[in-house]
Structure 1
Amino acid sequence: MAQNTTISSTDLLIRFLHIIIILSFTGAYLTGDAEEWHQVHMAFGYTLGISLILRILWQFFAPRLAHTQPSGVNRRFYVIKPFVQRYWTQPQQWLSPTFLKAASSSLFQLSILGVFCLLPLTVLAGFLTDYTQSHSLKEVHELFANLFLASVLLHLAALTLNSVLLKKWLAKRMFWGTESHSWFTLFTLVLSLGVLVAFWLWYFS
């Protein structure tokens, strides 16, 4: 009998891109208002864009070639929808432990959707601002960046609450794990690292 070889939703490349996105957004946000750091700010922004493209490509290729199944939009809504349907009309349960666990999980998934919706808008607005030098576009870029930050803060708050309620550090699996990885995952990780390093070398050459 054939067995399902899909073994994980959080593989080595997902962890790598997760760390790159964290570092890139932090760097971009901290250098956003410093004119002398403008080139570095743009490099971080482009790195965010490249990381998003790599993440989208991995969503497509991973199940077919790496035997992993990264979480997609449908899986996020699979968590959020039942929560809304169950508790929207039951406010008397809003302070129960079960509600808090479901709410923190749903907000966590919602924050991820927010991050991936706002990330391309933030990067695109930043590119157009740099290209046109438009003050209006700069304000739009700053708005998206602040909304992105709000999604990140919601992400951290929901993660912390869920970890406390479940008495388990849920962030651990996004930074390391003990599962094995296919050769294709390792190859794609090295390729992705090469793409990012090559971009930085080219950008500052």
Structure 2
Amino acid sequence: MNTVSASPAERKPRTLVWDLPTRLFHWLLAGSFAVAWISAESERWQLVHVTAGYTVAGLVVFRLLWGLVGTRHARFTDFVRGPRAVLGYLRSLASGRPEHHAGHNPAGALAIVGLLALAALTTATGWANYADLGGHWLEEVHEALASGMLALVAVHIVAVVVSSRLHHENLVASMVHGRKPVPPTEGIRSARRTVGALMLVAVLGFWWTQWQSAPANGGATPFASQAEEDD
């Protein structure tokens, strides 16, 4: 279980907390969702949108599995807590003496679960809409879910900035190098670089496959839609 303390200054050692697969998941999900959002309204970049969406779906599946078998702080059992723990954490923020968690805090856990759920629903409705399994209503549901996910991402970013200030630590940087100012006993023994490398190869390989299957369009972009080419 996470170490909880109100005195970040007492924890000077920088200890490895986030494994490489967890960090790669975080940034690949953020980038893929951003690309999917930006390309959503463009017929020309439809394949980019679809590729980004499938990437998000694959990442969600990976994260669900990694939440069961991953390293200490990547597991759902380490950070998913009930309403009482969430309220307690929020009260500690309001008091100016925030609880410090080696992994995700209880409020952050809600955002993670929410993002995973919205990402799964958004990609599922996107796939169904792309496969013409529903009418216009399904497209509207897909867009509404994507908008909800964007809103939750915005809340998450604000919360990270606020928490970084209150805890006197750079939470964004910790998701890059994987280290946080916590006691060594709260750390993990391995960054699982092999799993991270395989994960990255799988994503890049999928992107390459999509690139190779893109229709020719006279050299403008390899990701132009087939519909535009036919026109």
TM-score with structure 2 length normalisation? Answer: 0.70
1: distance between equivalents of 2:207 and 2:115?
Answer: 24
- CA 1:62/1:86 → structure 2, altered by over 3 Å: closer, same or farther? closer
1:54 aligned residue: 62
Query: d(CA) in 2 for partners of 1:95 and 1:21?
Result: 30
- Alpha-carbon offset, residue 94 of structure 1: 9.0
Q: Shift in Å at residue 27 of structure 1? A: 0.4
Indicate conservation of the 8 Å contact 1:76/1:109, yes or no. Answer: yes
Pairs aligned (count): 185
Instruction: Give the equivalent residue in structure 2 for 1:11.
Output: 19
Q: Secondary structure at the match of 1:35?
A: coil
Q: Residues of 1 paired with 2:199 and 2:129: CA distance?
A: 27
CA separation of 1:141 and 1:86: change in aligned 2, threshold 3 A:
closer
Query: Could you say what secondary structure the match of 2:131 adopts?
Result: helix
- CA drift of 1:85 comes to 6.3
1:40 aligned residue: 48
Q: What residue identity is the alignment partner of 2:95?
A: S
Letter of the structure 2 residue corresponding to residue 81 of structure 1: R
In 1: Cα distance, 2:188 partner to 2:89 partner = 38
2:84 corresponds, among 81, 85, 100, to 81
Task: With a CA cutoff of 8 Å and minimum separation of 6, indicate the structure with the bigger relative contact order.
Answer: 2
Q: Does 1:118 align with 2:118?
A: yes
Unaligned runs of 5+ in 2: 1-14, 100-104, 180-186, 213-231
Compute the RMSD of aligned alpha carbons: 2.8
When residues 182 and 169 of structure 1 are mapped into structure 2, their CA distance, relative to the original with a 3 A threshold, is closer
Distance between the aligned counterparts of 2:80 and 2:66, measured in 1?
Answer: 17
CA distance in 1, matches of 2:48, 2:24: 21
The reply on whether 1:204 has 2:220 as its aligned counterpart is: no
C-alpha distance in 1 between matches for 2:25 and 2:172: 15
Cα 1:49–1:168, aligned 2, differ >3 Å: closer, same or farther? same
- Determine the C-alpha separation between the residues in 2 that align with 1:97 and 1:117: 31
Give the alignment's TM-score, normalised by structure 1: 0.78
Residue 153 of structure 1 is matched in structure 2 by 154
Q: Could you tell me how far apart the structure 2 residues matched to 1:172 and 1:39 are?
A: 32
Between structures 1 and 2, the one with greater helix share: 1
Which of the pair has more CA radius of gyration?
A: 2
- Mapped partners of 1:85, 1:159: distance in 2: 18
- 1:62-101 pair list within 5 angstroms: 62-63=70-71, 68-72=72-76, 75-77=79-81, 80-84=83-87, 96-98=95-97, 101=98
Residue identity (%) = 25
Partner of residue 202 from structure 2, selected from 179, 195, 201: 195
